[in-house]
Chain A
Amino acid sequence: MTPQTPSPAAGPAPTPGRARHRPVLGFVLDNLVWLILLIALTAFGLFIPKFLQIGIFLNILEQSTFVGVIAVGLSLTLIAGEMDLSVESVMALAAMLVALTFGTGGAGGGLELDPAWLAFPVSLAMALGVGAAVGALNGLLVVRFEINAFIVTLASYIWGRGLVVALSGGRSVYGLPDALRGVAVQRLLGVPLLAWVLIAVYLVFSFLLAKTPFGRHLFMIGGNAVASNRAGIRVARNVILAFLLSGMLAGLAGWLLASRTAGATANLGIGMLFQAFAAVVIGGVSLRGGVGRLSGVFAGVLLLSSIQTAINVMGMPPHYTMMIQGLLVLAAVLLDTAKNNLRRSYF
């Protein structure tokens, strides 16, 4: 995508045959991750006994929730030409705060509210609030002090995790009230509530990115911040908002994670940042900004989760998962380059 690239119009005109295949090819290229996911699932189904079960697919979906939700925040900031490495620590921080307040065992404070269901909205507000606070801080540092987002959010990633350890004193918390456990154990229409939340988050944010001025402006800022500014788009405000939303999504993920694990430990969710990053890259979000779709990210998350599940089902040691995921990230980047070359010669 360098400006020096010879423009297509200067080259020979595309042949009619190519033109006819264009929409199909474009569709396949746009949804390549889904195709890969389909192939992977088919292969697992063929070669792994007992893989083809509804239960396993629901499990894959449910397992994807936490990485999936923080991957949305990461995507928002990447699309705007920034990045948010703090999502994992913010998630852990939100989970720990909720667990410390409402947990009945370990380091938990055992706060009881009357009526008991109040714990649900109060804990959710806490988690979203702490996420919003860290997100706003990240955004302000990036925009107002013009510090590189990598540095700002790396710092948040580190101090966030440090704060989690400090708050818990290294002890774990367990025993959350039923009001908080509901979302992790209930099902709706046979599908775990966590999976519904994941799907809802992707639908809402896909809509936000594709159909609202805010989403469109994020793409513009990531594509050309100078031009966006010249066109009267409030770049600073939009970037801060992206970080704020990323933080709140991480807070939501933390709240779900606390509910799921019925507590929190100091090393809760470690490594999820890299899984989220891998999913986002596999899903086709460009690290250079301005490019990406959440449907691709969703497929990326499901692909990683499927591989993890397949390895579990096969009884292979879990470190194979990391090796495969690492290779997948490399493959995704190579694929992206190949896709761009293909597009350039066809469009």
Chain B
Amino acid sequence: MPAAALLELIDIRKSFGAIEALRGVTLSVFPGEVVALLGDNGAGKSTLVKIVAGEQRQSSGRVVYDGIERHFTSPGDAKAVGIETVYQDLSLCTNLDVVANFFMGRELTRRVLGLPVLRDREMEAETARALAAGGTQIPSLRTKVEHLSGGQRQAIELNRFVHWGGKLVILDEPFAALGVEQTRRGLETVDRVRARGIGVILITHVMAQAFAVADRIVVMRQGAIAGDLRTGETSPDEVVHLITGGIERIGAAPRNEQVQPEKGAST
């Protein structure tokens, strides 16, 4: 493993009133590593990544990023240091073209009579370079994003994230709405992002996706880490065991089980 972790979560706890959503989570993510976060609905995955992305604050515990303890108060704080959640579609303006989206809020301008004027040609060239570097092919950068496929949109978002200095990206069910071929390409994009030294936290329900792309598989159960395994040293069966809490139920959909916080904690 590389020497320094990109992100270290140390004994993170989070309570919503009487309900303990996180019961002491310790987890690290290294640069250029894809960590798949699995777990049942309500296991605490979303709460955990929201804390990482600055959308919520932990009740106790420490978030150390890039070697420094962080106290994010907003998603903007996290974004400023290179942590971002990439949601499908939510961060794009589909009514505009690829270039406009790539430079959203960071447009290149020149002053003409004191008025800022967009430098469209330069922005298009830079977008083309960035997408090429990320191995993404889009026929025309002047195409409106609404005419692009879900996979292409994701690729734009990921490339944009990398281009503007992102270091840790959280992908929350990124392939939920994609077809087989698009999912395959999406996994390839994740692969390329990893190759550029970015840390990736991938939340997914699909075992095959986790095994296809992740270096490590982290299973959460009832607000705690139930397993932190290298992908090569585990099997889907074992992961299902960890998700459901030891009861062998291969073939049944584990996601239907509800978490009951009153039951004993598994810390």
Report which A residues bind B (CB closer than 8 A): 1, 3, 7-10, 211-213, 216-217, 219-220, 222-224, 226-228, 230-233, 290-291, 343, 347
Contacts and interface: CB of A to CB of B under 8 A. Distances in A.
A231 B149 contact: no
B147 A228 contact: no
Contacts of B95: 1, 219, 222-224, 290-291
Contacts of A233: 104-105
A231 B156 CA distance: 14
Interface stretch (B4-12, B114-122, B220-228): B114-122
A58 B117 CA distance: 33
A220 B149 contact: no
B58 to A, nearest CB: 22
A228 B104 contact: yes
A7 B148 contact: yes
A227 B95 CA distance: 12
A227 B104 contact: yes
Nearest to A219: B96
B107 to A, nearest CB: 5
A166 B98 CA distance: 52
Ordered nearest first, which 4 A-B pairs have the shortest CB separation?
A: A231-B105, A9-B149, A223-B95, A223-B93
Contacts of B149: 7-10
Contacts, number: 84
Interface string B80-112: 000000000111111110001000111101000
A261 to B, nearest CB: 34
A290 B95 CA distance: 6
B118 A213 contact: yes
A1 B147 CA distance: 9
A287 to B, nearest CB: 13
Contact of B148 (A9, A217, A220, A227): A9
Contact of B90 (A223, A226, A290, A291): A226
Nearest to A5: B146
A88 B217 CA distance: 62
14 contacts: A1-B146, A8-B147, A9-B151, A9-B152, A10-B149, A10-B179, A212-B116, A216-B107, A219-B95, A220-B105, A227-B90, A231-B106, A232-B76, A290-B96
Contacts of B104: 220, 227-228, 231, 233
Nearest to B146: A1
Contacts of B106: 231-232
B105 A223 contact: no
B153 to A, nearest CB: 9
B116 A213 contact: yes
Given A211-B117, A212-B117, A216-B107, A7 B150 contact: yes
Contact of B105 (A1, A222, A228): A228
Contacts of A347: 143, 147
A57 to B, nearest CB: 33
B256 to A, nearest CB: 25
Contacts of A222: 95
Contacts of B100: 216, 219-220
A233 B147 CA distance: 24
A231 B91 contact: yes
Contacts of A3: 89, 94
A217 B182 CA distance: 30
B115 A212 contact: yes
Interface string B127-162: 000000000000000010011111110000000000
Nearest to A346: B147
B92 A227 contact: yes
Nearest to A4: B177
A227 B179 CA distance: 24
A230 B91 contact: yes
Contacts of A217: 105
Nearest to A340: B146
B75 interface: yes
B116 A227 contact: no
Nearest to A215: B118
A76 to B, nearest CB: 16
B182 to A, nearest CB: 8
Given A216-B107, A219-B95, 15 more contacts: A7-B148, A7-B150, A8-B148, A9-B148, A9-B152, A211-B118, A220-B100, A220-B104, A227-B104, A228-B93, A231-B104, A290-B93, A290-B95, A290-B96, A347-B143
Q: Which of B92, B105, B150 has the most CB of A within 10 A?
A: B105
A123 to B, nearest CB: 27
Nearest to A217: B105
A224 B76 contact: no
Given A9-B152, A223-B96, A216 B118 contact: yes
Nearest to A208: B115
Contact of B94 (A212, A224, A226): A224
A220 B89 CA distance: 13
B172 to A, nearest CB: 14
A211 B116 CA distance: 9
A314 B117 CA distance: 47
Contacts of A227: 90-93, 104
Contacts of A216: 96, 100, 107, 118
Contacts of A230: 75, 79, 90-91
A212 B150 CA distance: 29
Nearest to B80: A232
A1 to B, nearest CB: 6
Contacts of B105: 217, 220, 228, 231-233
B138 to A, nearest CB: 10
Contacts of A224: 90, 92-95
